[in-house]
Amino acid sequence: MEQELDKHWSLDWKDYLMSLGQSLPLWKIEGINTVLIAHWMAHLIQRSPPNTVEARLNDLATFIRGEYPILLPSQNESNLEKRLLGLDLAPRSRERVTSTIRAFFHFLRSHMEISLPEIGLWHIGWVNAISEQPILLPNDFDEILNNIEPEVIHVRAAASIGYYFGLRISEVCNLCIGHLWIGSSPITFVLKSKGGKSRSVEGIDLPTEVLQFMERLRAARLHQTQGDLSKPLLATPGGQPITRQLLSRQWRDAVRRTEIDEISKQTYSVFHSLRHACVNRWLALGIPLVEIARMLGHSSIDTSIRSYTHSFHFLQKGYLEEFSIRQKELRFTSTGVAKLLGVTPRRARQILSENQATFTKEGGKRYYRIGLVLDLLSSYSL
């Protein structure tokens, strides 16, 4: 196969491969892709750590797999963009695969001297980056609620639950009347997380009108279902349980009517922005990160740190010390340590190495205990 590539090395590779198009047999397409990827891998091995090489290879494999084979060098930016946006990936994963494709095409052009255009695709990473998740401000939230038709009360109720309690759209749709506890103070939802564990989510500093709305909603549903606590808390005007698709579409339509561009034009779930807004509301109220992670239903505090927050001045060291007495098994990865210290992951690994930090290994990841993290916070906090 390399001899065939060398045969046309002096030609304009782009024109040659485009002239062949997809008429090449599958084995030939796979052979050309394999040779080019092998050259890039050999280049990376000399300059990058093994985990980076493996990640790049996995990204290319993810990109190449699909309903039809593609000859990588014959793709233009429009085709690449269509393929990337068609992949069933989380936003952060798509951003990483996009970065890999850019790096691969740069290598083909600069090191193998294959005549290819500059591949940008910067906007794909920008649009889908989780770190760019727009935050729904209180005034915007109130404006959207005012634009919801009175007859679709389930949309108003679902949005309030997402904004003030941080529940996922799947959790909102599966709520039963019995999950809402109003007799207690504060008002509380008791439900199961994605992992099957029970968790409680308290309404923190809720406006009076929200408390009254929740009380009326529960009373109305109890009346409609003749006191059956196992019936859905939210239902359509016709009495049918709401679905994720219906709720997502109705909330997106309500957002678009207010013309809040940052929220309505995002490719990530518009309803999920309520969960992000809830987290930032809790942070503004001074709720410690460990409590936020618990109420969000995250099994690892790293998830809360990485995807939902951007600053950590609220993480009171005193509270962590108290929490460590009750929860000695709380652990952090090096990424979590980096976020808490306000440094890069690489610098965090250096700090952990300098302090000869002990760790436990599970699933290929290193976990550091809370006692060590507290010591580091004392030495390296801003």
Q: Worst-scoring range by mean pLDDT, 89-93, 122-126, 199-203, 343-347?
A: 122-126
State how far the Cα of 120 lies from the Cα of 296, in Å rounded to an integer: 36
Residues with Cβ within 8 Å of 46's Cβ and at least 6 positions away in sequence, in order, are: none
H or E element, residue 192: strand 188-192
Per-residue pLDDT band for 234 (boundaries 50, 70, 90) equals very high
DSSP designation for 271: T
Q: Is the pLDDT of residue 113 over 50?
A: yes
Instruction: Kindly give, in sequence order, each residue whose CB lies less than 8 Å from that of residue 23, ignoring residues fewer than 6 positions away.
Output: none
> Is residue 101 within 8 Å of residue 58, measured between CB atoms?
no
- Cis, peptide link before residue 49, omega less than 30° from 0: no
Tens of pLDDT, residue by residue over 288-324, are: 778 888 888 887 776 776 666 543 433 445 545 555 5
Torsion of CA 305, 307, 312, 316, to 10 degrees: -40
Domain topology for 133-284? hpI Integrase; Chain A (1.10.443)
Residue range 170-180, pLDDT digits in tens: 899 999 999 99
Res 164: pLDDT:
93
| The domain made up of 288-382 is a member of CATH 1.10.10 | yes
How much is the pLDDT for 374? Answer: 72
More confident position, 87 or 123:
87
Sequence-distant (≥ 6) Cβ neighbours of residue 318 within 8 angstroms: none
Instruction: List the chain domain ranges.
Output: 2-131, 133-284, 288-382
DSSP assignment of 321-350: HHHHHH-TT-EE-HHHHHHHHTS-HHHHHH
Comparing CA positions, the residue from 321, 320, 295 lying closest to residue 308 is 295
Cα 244 to Cα 174: distance, rounded to the nearest angstrom: 9
349-365: pLDDT as tens digits: 888 888 888 888 877 77
Instruction: Tell me how crowded residue 297 is: count the other CB atoms within 10 A of its CB.
Output: 20
